[in-house]
Homo-oligomer: A and B are copies of this chain.
């Protein structure tokens, strides 16, 4: 093969293509309802139980299925306020960023932390009880951190929220 100087094809599985259509059908079912029995799933994807069970085992062992969880309604446990926090950092040294990441990840109110491209460096999704709780969180967040800009955007209404990925 000629060396084009371009990046190589990934050394390992072409994303999403180590899975056949049956695997993807199983995933679509399970990410919608993880209480389905093997019998039910096998039936719906047109397999018998044993091979279906083996496929699910493999999907779990290889990390395609990361975990099975219960989704809790936030407002039912007194967590009525979700806030997206866009952070622009002042310091961009590797050490500072590592510290920042570790420290922010440790905050339980932060359920998601993303490093972003573009104007915003980090985007946080924060879940708290109410505005007073958010204020307390915010003070803890900025305390001692050199942040250039912090923009809080408050969720008024959750119109759609699913953990089910649009598996093609």
Q: Is the CB of A114 within 8 A of B165?
A: no
Render A138-168 as a binary contact track against B, CB cut-off 8 A, 1 for contact.
0000000000000001111111111111111
Closest to A110 in B: B160
Asked whether A27 lies within 8 Å of B163 as measured between CB atoms, the reply is no
User: How long is the Cα–Cα vector from A78 to B19 in the complex, in angstroms?
Assistant: 10
Residue of B nearest to A62 (CB): B76
Are A167 and B112 in contact, with the CB atoms below 8 A? no
Q: Report, as a range, how many residues of chain A touch the other chain.
A: 35 or more
A30 in complex: contacting residue of B69, B120, B128, CB < 8 Å: B69
CB of B63 within 8 A of CB of A76, answer yes
What 0/1 pattern do residues 53 to 83 of A give for CB contact below 8 A with B?
Answer: 0000000001111111111111111111010
Question: Contacts A79-B167, A105-B160: A153 and B113 contacting too (C-beta < 8 A)?
Answer: no
A103-129 CB contact bits vs B (8 Å, 1 = yes)?
011001111111111111011000111
Contact B77 A165 (CB under 8 A): yes
Q: Which residues of A pack against B, CB within 8 Å?
A: 15-17, 19, 24, 27, 30-35, 62-80, 82, 84, 101, 104-105, 108-120, 122-123, 127-129, 153-168
Q: Please list 30 pairs of residues, one from A and one from B, whose beta carbons are closer than 8 Å in the complex, sorted by A's number.
A: A15-B76, A15-B78, A15-B80, A16-B79, A31-B69, A64-B76, A67-B70, A67-B71, A69-B69, A69-B164, A71-B163, A74-B165, A77-B165, A79-B166, A82-B114, A84-B84, A84-B123, A105-B159, A111-B165, A112-B158, A112-B161, A113-B160, A114-B156, A114-B158, A115-B156, A116-B153, A116-B154, A120-B153, A123-B153, A127-B166
